[in-house]
């Protein structure tokens, strides 16, 4: 992953997130979300810092708008996480869908411990992919147990960095994985090379540019 947060995050927000007060008492709240034509998004949020370690206490609200034009993909959840921060990356596993070549992953081997292999795939998506990639997004059968019980099958179709993770698990499970090129084996890297991903707590957006505006 290549973090480039400082290129986009306003200095005022950066200082808030790095403050002791935010670390001890801060939280990030979603105020509203406006989506126009599925690709232009206004994400309005407030950074709240409330504490009582002094005699008078304090309650600060910093309201901001994040504008995302031509958003290619997003995930939005109601976030009230006291440890929510903002990060921007130019390289990330979630960008591979747009920037990398695609292949097809097959196997032709038998595994006698399918339950263990299923758990390993579950853990991959849960902990390595942080639940951001659904198991049926690239895997070619929603019934993973049935697929793993097969002796030969097309397992997944997708970007090579994600398939590499699958490949290693299948290899360790004696499933004899191998690749084939797809008919459409690449994304237009020239068009997508400037895409970036921004995380706000549990929410993310993929676009070329992100603009913060104080409200």
Annotated domain spans of the chain:
2-93+194-214, 101-181
pLDDT at 199: 94
Yes or no: say if 215 and 126 are a contact pair by the CB < 8 Å rule. no
Within 8 A by CB and 6+ apart from 138, the residues are 156, 157, 158, 159, 162, 163, 166
pLDDT at 77: 80
pLDDT at 36: 87
Report pLDDT digits (tens) over 128-162.
998 889 999 999 999 999 999 999 999 999 999 99
What gap in Å lies between CA 137 and CA 40, rounded to an integer?
A: 24
Strand order in the sheet with 102-107: 153-159, 102-107, 177-181
Four-point Cα dihedral 68, 73, 77, 79, nearest 10: -50
Region 167-175 average pLDDT: 96
What gap in Å lies between CA 100 and CA 49, rounded to an integer?
A: 41
HSE-CB at 166 with a 13 A cutoff on CA atoms is 27
E-strand ranges in 117-188 read: 153-159, 177-181
Q: Which tokens is 30 given?
A: 């979603």
Q: Which of 13-22, 31-40, 186-195, 202-211 has the lowest mean pLDDT?
A: 186-195
pLDDT at 55: 55
Within 8 A by CB and 6+ apart from 97, the residues are 73, 158, 159, 162, 187
Alpha helices per DSSP H over 58-131: 96-99, 114-123
Q: What is the largest CA-CA distance in the chain?
A: 69
Is residue 67 over pLDDT 90? Answer: yes
The CA-to-CA distance between both ends of the chain, in Å, stands at: 31
Report pLDDT digits (tens) over 94-132.
999 898 888 999 999 988 899 999 999 999 999 999 888
What is residue 123's three-state secondary structure? Answer: helix
pLDDT at 151: 94
Cα 64 versus chain centre, distance: 22
- Comparing CA positions, the residue from 122, 128, 66 lying closest to residue 92 is 128
What gap in Å lies between CA 204 and CA 195, rounded to an integer?
A: 13
């Amino acid at each position: 992953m290549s973090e480039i947060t400082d290129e986009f995050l306003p200095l005022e927000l950066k200082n808030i997130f790095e403050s002791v007060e935010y670390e001890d008492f801060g939280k990030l709240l979603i105020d509203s979300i406006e989506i126009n034509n599925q690709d232009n998004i206004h994400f309005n949020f407030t950074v709240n810092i409330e504490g009582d370690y002094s005699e008078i206490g304090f309650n600060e609200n910093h309201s901001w708008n994040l504008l995302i034009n031509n958003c290619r993909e997003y995930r939005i959840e109601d976030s009230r996480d006291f440890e929510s921060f903002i990060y921007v990356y130019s390289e990330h596993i979630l960008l591979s869908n747009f920037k990398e070549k695609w292949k097809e992953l097959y196997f032709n081997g038998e595994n006698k411990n399918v339950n263990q292999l299923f758990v390993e795939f579950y853990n991959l998506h849960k902990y390595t992919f942080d639940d951001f990639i659904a198991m049926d997004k690239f895997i070619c059968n929603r019934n993973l147990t049935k697929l793993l019980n097969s002796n030969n099958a097309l397992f997944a179709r997708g970007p090579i960095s994600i398939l590499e993770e699958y490949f290693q698990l299948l290899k360790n499970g004696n499933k004899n994985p191998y690749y084939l090129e797809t008919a459409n084996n690449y994304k237009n890297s020239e068009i997508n090379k400037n895409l970036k991903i921004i995380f706000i707590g549990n929410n993310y957006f993929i676009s070329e540019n992100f603009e913060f505006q104080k409200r």
